[in-house]
Amino acid sequence: MHALVENAVKHGMRSSPLPLRVRLACVYQQQWLRIDVTNGGRIETRAGGTGVGMRNLAQRLESLYPGRHLFALEEADGQVRASVAIHRPEQAG
């Protein structure tokens, strides 16, 4: 998931007033691991980025966790949040 943090820093530095603030939050609840990376700024694909990093991440998630993951990238109120959720079914014991 380091791609989420890397993108937050790379794109946040371009589109947010400094100092850049990046927040990482993880929670495991009801068999879902959720990872949120939030940074100041805007979603930009034209300012030197091509969106390849997030597309690659989405493809890796599908390969590793087919049908058991969610991925979202959203912008609101001057903040960008990338969220990944991975479902881990209970193990029969």
Please report, in tens digits, the pLDDT of each residue of the chain (93 residues total).
Answer: 788 999 899 989 998 989 999 999 999 999 999 999 999 999 876 555 567 888 899 999 999 999 999 999 999 999 999 999 999 977 655
Structure pTM?
A: 0.84
Amino acid 52: pLDDT? 85
Strand partners, 69: 86
Amino acid 46: pLDDT? 59
Helix (H) or strand (E) holding 38: strand 32-40
Domains of the chain: 2-87 (3.30.565.10)
Q: Which two tokens stand for residue 43?
A: 């979603």
